[in-house]
Homo-oligomer: A and B are copies of this chain.
Amino acid sequence: MSHTVAVVGVTGAVGQEMLTCLEERRYPFTDLRLFASPRSAGQKVTHQGKTYTVEALAPGCFKGVNVALFSAGASISREWAPKAVEQGTVVVDNSSAFRYEKEIPLVVPEINPQAAFEHRGIIANPNCTTIIIAVGIYPLHKKAGLKRVVAATYQAASGAGAKAMEELRTQTREVLDGKSVKPGVFPTQIAFNLFPHIDVFVEDDFTKEEMKVTWESRKIMGLPGLNVVTTAVRVPVLRAHSAAVFLEFERPITPAEAREVLKSAPGVKLVDDPKEKLYPTPLRASGQDDVLVGRIRPDKTVQHGLAIFVAGDQLRKGAATNAVQIAELLLKKNR
């Protein structure tokens, strides 16, 4: 049976990682189509021994494509995803374009796989920070019932794309060389600095990034009334996001019970032996599909509280892996 996969935004940081995930996970495509901006069209990309030519998006370009993984920004998704659907393609969209539409499923396969099958052509891939936090806390929710989530994030440059990662490298070298630096992709200096400003400012002076964690956690976990408050901070790390998360539950849960639950939770790796210097870090999470969870402590300042620290590769589980996992779900269902 023929099965054609397309990657839209293949020259970006997430697009590149999507190719890696397709290969590593032996995703069974028979043909691969690679799309990017007109500027990148014509470039050759070698993947699993075959050479592909990057194409620009054009009317009719999705003909024969079974699944398209979009990661080229919200405006490209808004314009081209509906066109792909018209041509019979199922779109897994990594942008925020469709995440908050009621009829469009927002899926983390470890949490709400069944939602993927209710799609009408488009399935949204959640925000990277939200995926990483949600995968870490959902098993604890099932055990003790989540009431409130307080999160402070430590988000890597990769979340702002390949150019942002390059800006961090270049700027860092400039600072080390005593040169003056000028922000480009980022709103202010990222080298040896950090700032609580990711995405635009929306309601009550929260950023959209901060609100995404609230909106998307509720939708993915099916908890429309869940209390979630976040401060989202960009840090001078290349890839992999971290978060300090403070949880309040309906029922008692000890750190030992939390560890027991997380040990066997899908998509989670328990890394919690502080005396051996084992705890989640972005470097440890980089290149891994699992979300690392550790530093599990009782939070006695509140009833049934836990404090944890999570880290996950933003480009992998936070984006590419999750998208490919969704495509795999659909494929299994169709068999």
- Where the two chains meet, the residues of A that have a C-beta atom closer than 8 Å to any C-beta of B are 148, 150, 152, 154, 168-169, 172-173, 176, 187-189, 192-197, 201, 204-207, 227-229, 231, 233, 235-238, 242, 244, 246, 255, 274-275, 277, 279-283, 294-302, 305, 307, 309
Contacts and interface: CB of A to CB of B under 8 A. Distances in A.
- Give the residue among A237, A255, A301 with the most B Cβ atoms within 10 A: A301
Contacts of A297: 204-206
A205 B237 contact: no
B188 A281 contact: yes
A55 to B, nearest CB: 33
Contacts of A255: 204-205
A302 B301 CA distance: 14
Given A227-B301, A301-B227, A195 B279 contact: yes
The 6 closest A-B pairs by CB, nearest first: A152-B152, A227-B301, A152-B244, A231-B244, A193-B283, A196-B309
A277 B197 contact: yes
Contacts of A281: 188, 193-196
A53 to B, nearest CB: 31
A317 to B, nearest CB: 18
Nearest to A207: B274
